[in-house]
Amino acid sequence: MNDLSDLLYILTFIGPNSCPYKVNLHCHTLYSDGSLSPSALLNQAAEIGLTNIAITDHHTIRAYDELNICFTQNRNIINHIPRIWSGIEISCLLKNCLVHVIGLGFDLYHKSLVPYITGEAPTGEYLKASSVVNSLHQAGGIAILAHPARYRLPYNELIREASKLGFDGGEAWYDYEHKSTWKPTELICNSIDNQLKSLNMFSTCGTDTHGFDIRLR
């Protein structure tokens, strides 16, 4: 499932046209606050031709446990679905602002992630952004600032702070306007992408789907 060098290579080509029909690295299932089962999500992904996907449920990796059972029972299914990357979405404090971090490409069962896969938001020291980033790195993954323009602090401030703490990237391409057809919000997303590039950080994309259509938020 995970080869971090492959993931980083894929991220170098992410752009405004990558999502939702090529790459989607921000999806939720019924194991957190989504509407689709993991298998239904992957079936949709295969139908629309996605090549890479990550399930990023909040504070849980249970979707991957279910998928592992499915793959064990039917090994041929792996030939008909996109490449799956491990993922999770974690709440934390960045500059005393509550934000979300997307973890990608990590070892699902690494001990450093134990505080973050309980199904509940972390507390205490584990709520610090630096702790989340360090835990994801220890697990062999990367840390991405999710939808940087959705918080109470300006995204340029948050991205600068994220860079200082060792975040690997940000979710540059995101539909902040919740259009009926998913489309990144041009001016905001271009600005975020440019800032990330100036800081040598990766840009990612995702629909942040919670409903019954993987192509929509």
Q: How many other C-beta atoms lie within 10 A of the C-beta of residue 154? A: 12
What is the structure's pLDDT at 81? 85
Judge whether residue 101 has pLDDT over 80.
yes
153-157 long-range contacts (CB < 8 A, ≥24 apart) are 153/95, 153/97, 155/188, 155/191, 155/192, 155/195, 156/191, 156/195, 157/95
Percentage of residues in the chain having pLDDT higher than 70: 97
What is the structure's pLDDT at 3? 85
What is the structure's pLDDT at 73? 76
Judge whether residue 104 has pLDDT over 80.
yes
What is the structure's pLDDT at 68? 87
pLDDT confidence bin for 217, thresholds 50/70/90: confident
Q: How far apart are alpha carbons 141 and 110 in whole angstroms?
A: 10
Mean of the pLDDT values across residues 100-104?
98
Judge whether residue 109 has pLDDT over 80.
yes
What pTM was estimated for this model as a whole?
Answer: 0.96
What is the structure's pLDDT at 1? 59
Residues 207, 217: contact at Cβ < 8 Å?
yes
pLDDT tens, 115-157? Answer: 999 999 999 999 999 999 999 999 999 999 999 999 999 999 9
DSSP of 120-183, one letter per residue? S---GGGGBHHHHHHHHHHTT-EEEE-SGGGSSS-HHHHHHHHHHTT--EEEEE--TT--SS--
Q: How far is CA 62 from the centre of its chain?
A: 15
Judge whether residue 5 has pLDDT over 90.
yes
Q: Which of 146, 87, 141, 145 is nearest to 112 (CA)?
A: 141
Instruction: Write down the CATH superfamily of domain 4-205.
Output: Metal-dependent hydrolases (3.20.20.140)
Q: Chain-wide mean pLDDT for the chain?
A: 95
What is the structure's pLDDT at 23? 98
pLDDT tens, 44-98? Answer: 999 999 999 999 999 999 999 999 888 777 766 666 789 999 999 999 999 999 9
**133, 2, 197, 90: CA torsion to nearest 10:** -30
